[in-house]
Structure 1
């Protein structure tokens, strides 16, 4: 072999070796990180007994008439100073103030006079407070009676909401899971926590509590209430947190069901581009429009995620703006329920809100944020999830070995960049993937019957993997 050929062979070997190392660095699956299981997130230094289980407390907060009267006055004053929308503009510039006036009138003159009735509705399920890792944690807990367990199969399930939602998201779904149906002999013990920083759950006093750390807290909650093995359903941030629980603690998770399937890895981005070149080879032909054309998905994503950049960088600034500002808070939240349900709703004068939601439902959710003064603490999850420390965990590159299901609703933006072709690298047992042309981001509120059946079908499939 001539010296030139020998040098060429050595150079090619080094080049291929370098390429292999680069591909391994950016594409290979990573080991599970070891997160602290009892990290303290409360104020100041941890007390000596902060990690000791406390008695569970039944919670029934009462908001006085003076608070409700003050809220009514704030809504009324703000209503008279709203700017007129541009001519021929509906929700394209944001929440249309003409429609907003009718929402505020309903809130002030119809909803608030019935507040005690709404309180009874909100507290219809058993709700508790406990303390975990230095934080006060609120959750709903529906337990199946022993006599029912004798004739039905019972599994615990953890239901996780996101932003700008709350436990209110699951008020239609939870009874279906709890009571079961004639078609299924499966029922559930249900735990629905308010995420830390949301509603009555205390926000962290320290930096660094992102979705992975919240996953540890909520896994500890399930152990606290007596469940060592359970199913998870998550939406939005609840989906991210549920995925992390399934990834970090597979020994505790029977299956993970999501309506917000996402994946953010270099390999995933490459595979999405490949799929965009020939969509029908990678996505069932009837559902390629859920993802492609890619240009439309990117445009919709950019239009609808301005809040995410703001809250990931300066969550307290916008939080202060919305605090003690019920009208601003309502607009900021309700606008998401419009276009995250169907992006074409922005062309409608009412944002399409009455098509999928009752006003009482939407205002219930806003009231939980307003009365608990939790908008700022709820938004900090965006900043923590995008911190350098949280990104370095690279949990999207750590495989999830538990049975997984992905339910996609057409109006939701969150699934647009995660085909099964991509998800297969992360979720090694993706045993169910479904597509629904109706519904959007808040499927538990919009299509509870469809979602219930999807979860039941997933559990039946996941049973085959149980030991």
Structure 2
């Protein structure tokens, strides 16, 4: 108080001209400080990297960071055991005209299993899997499997590192058709592609401790890219891969030059609610296009009801994965029905009205059964199902990654038969730097497996846009 009185007396002792100069100088100084504060670039919030140890027992003092080659192998004993289990299968009779409305139709299942037992050549498919170089490396106590595919050498070609991440019930094999499309020369750019297996899926070791979620997977894959010598790279993912790559971009945005996803995860909130209420009548007021309206409405019949019909598996896997896992890990036919039903319905919901589930419309039985065999031979179905429990045991909207936006350049591919359509206006609630948003002409949930050319073209278009800015 005394200091204020002294300042007041000092100010009063000045003449008017001096008082005016002092006031102007003070205003300029304060304005300069405010301008500096406002113009300073704000550092985007990031998701903390954290740390983890998922191996057996206690964490050792050091971990071997070597990368070593890996090959998929099989044996006569493995195939004989598979055939013996198939031969002992007990089938349930299907309902008349049940098609795929009740799940995998057992009449068609018998045809698939007959092909699996008598014509499918697993030894040949192992050679197909080994077409690309496989590797493993130890990260946070787990053997992490990945394939690493480099483009053919060419003059005046910029090689861009790109990680592709799969989801459930897929595998790294989903990307085998898109790999040659990405590694070819696209008018001066080509991709060097890394496809890891999520821990607990296929040839990546399953976590031995509770709590391994998408954030842990993101950290592991960031370590993998660092170990491979990449400090700047692009990411692409669908299903769980979409969330994992999104988390990677949130953890180390300085390393992620661009993020491309084909399953778009928007934040729920007032904006979404308002869109649902007003969208059918005045879509332009809530940022919806005609195509958004066509894909979204009637919202409850086309989205909410269908999601309820198709997420029973998720409730099981998010609560009691080990119980259901006991059955499908023991029966190859049960495993095939459980996995392949998703490749039917998630490709197109209309496939539920077909006796064969429409499986051969987008896929060959060799490709579908190869994916099933990756789960069967590694015994990884239960550990893959646990990923749901680890990610959904709390409120997803309150997780730290849900509260922080994604600020890296982002490309979004909206496939029409995806389980849930997310308009660009919704996507902006999470992805704050959208460079491209594409309404894909066809395709569903398994984009790289179903429509490799469409997805590859969109990835190339997005990356070129980022690279030229």
TM-score, reference length from structure 2: 0.87
Distance 1:94 1:165 in 2: 18
Are 1:385 and 1:391, in contact at CA under 8 Å, matched by a contact in 2?
A: no
Offset at residue 273 of structure 1 (A): 2.6
Q: 2:141 aligns with which of 113, 116, 134?
A: 134
Distance 2:212 2:399 in 1: 13
Structure 1's consecutive aligned runs of 4 or more residues displaced over 4 angstroms after TM superposition are none
Structure 1 counterpart of 2:458: 454
Distance 2:207 2:84 in 1: 32
Offset at residue 445 of structure 1 (A): 1.1
Structure 2 counterpart of 1:34: 48
Distance 1:319 1:362 in 2: 20
Check 1:375–1:275 CA distance in 2 against 1; reply closer, same or farther (3 A cut): farther
Q: 2:407 aligns with which of 401, 410, 415?
A: 401
Distance 2:215 2:100 in 1: 35
Is the partner of 2:356 in helix, strand or coil? coil
Offset at residue 390 of structure 1 (A): 6.6
* Structure 1 residues 288-327: aligned runs within 5 Å: 288-295=293-300, 296-327=302-333
Q: Report the count of equivalent residues.
A: 424
Is the partner of 2:325 in helix, strand or coil? helix
Q: 2:109 aligns with which of 85, 88, 100?
A: 100
Check 1:274–1:256 CA distance in 2 against 1; reply closer, same or farther (3 A cut): farther
Distance 2:166 2:428 in 1: 24
CA RMSD of aligned residues (A): 1.8
Structure 2 counterpart of 1:118: 125
* Structure 1 residues 301-380: aligned runs within 5 Å: 301-380=307-386
Is the partner of 1:187 in helix, strand or coil? strand
Are 1:263 and 1:396, in contact at CA under 8 Å, matched by a contact in 2?
A: no
Offset at residue 346 of structure 1 (A): 0.5
Offset at residue 448 of structure 1 (A): 0.7
Structure 2 counterpart of 1:44: 57
Check 1:249–1:118 CA distance in 2 against 1; reply closer, same or farther (3 A cut): same
Check 1:268–1:109 CA distance in 2 against 1; reply closer, same or farther (3 A cut): farther
Larger Rg: 2
Structure 1 counterpart of 2:215: 212
Check 1:170–1:231 CA distance in 2 against 1; reply closer, same or farther (3 A cut): same
Offset at residue 428 of structure 1 (A): 1.3
Offset at residue 420 of structure 1 (A): 1.1
Deviation digits for residues 199-255 of structure 1 (CA, Å, limit 9, x no counterpart): 110111111111111111111111111111111110100000011111121001011
Structure 1 counterpart of 2:181: 176
1:74 and 2:80 aligned:
no
Give the unaligned 5+ runs of structure 1: 1-29
Offset at residue 31 of structure 1 (A): 4.1
Offset at residue 264 of structure 1 (A): 3.4
Distance 1:268 1:323 in 2: 43
Give the unaligned 5+ runs of structure 2: 1-43
Distance 1:270 1:200 in 2: 42
Are 2:266 and 2:428, in contact at CA under 8 Å, matched by a contact in 1?
A: no
Is the partner of 2:160 in helix, strand or coil? strand
